[in-house]
Amino acid sequence: MSSEGFLKELQDIGEKFLLKLQKLPKAEPVEIVSFAVVLLFIVTVLVLTIIACSCCCSSCCGCDGHADPRHRKSQVRPAAH
């Protein structure tokens, strides 16, 4: 997908989201609850992704960007008999 098509798709999604927000005060309670559940799911996924990325980056690299030698993988060789 080209960048122009991707931006157009994001703009369309944003416009639909704003339209849904504008109609929300007049919506039925079921629609409000379902919208809140979907929104909560999206926020939860984003927060968990950020937490996972930050934990992954902090475990393999220090804050200065250098790899931590204590976490280096070592090769295990079979013992000679």
| Per-residue pLDDT tens over the stretch 47-80 | 999 998 888 776 665 555 555 555 556 677 788 7
Q: Evaluate whether residue 4 is within a structural domain.
A: no
Q: Evaluate whether residue 3 is within a structural domain.
A: no
Q: Evaluate whether residue 71 is within a structural domain.
A: no
Q: Evaluate whether residue 77 is within a structural domain.
A: no
Predicted local confidence at residue 48, as pLDDT:
94
Is the whole-model pTM more than 0.75? no
Tokens in use for 74?
Answer: 């070592």
Domain of 49, in residue numbers: 28-54
| Per-residue pLDDT tens over the stretch 2-19 | 888 999 998 999 899 889
The H-or-E segment that residue 8 falls in is helix 3-23
Tokens in use for 26?
Answer: 């007049």
Q: Are 54 and 69 in contact (CB under 8 A)?
A: no
Q: Evaluate whether residue 5 is within a structural domain.
A: no
CA nearest to 54, candidates 45, 63, 66: 63
Q: Evaluate whether residue 44 is within a structural domain.
A: yes
How many domains is the chain built from?
1
Q: Evaluate whether residue 48 is within a structural domain.
A: yes
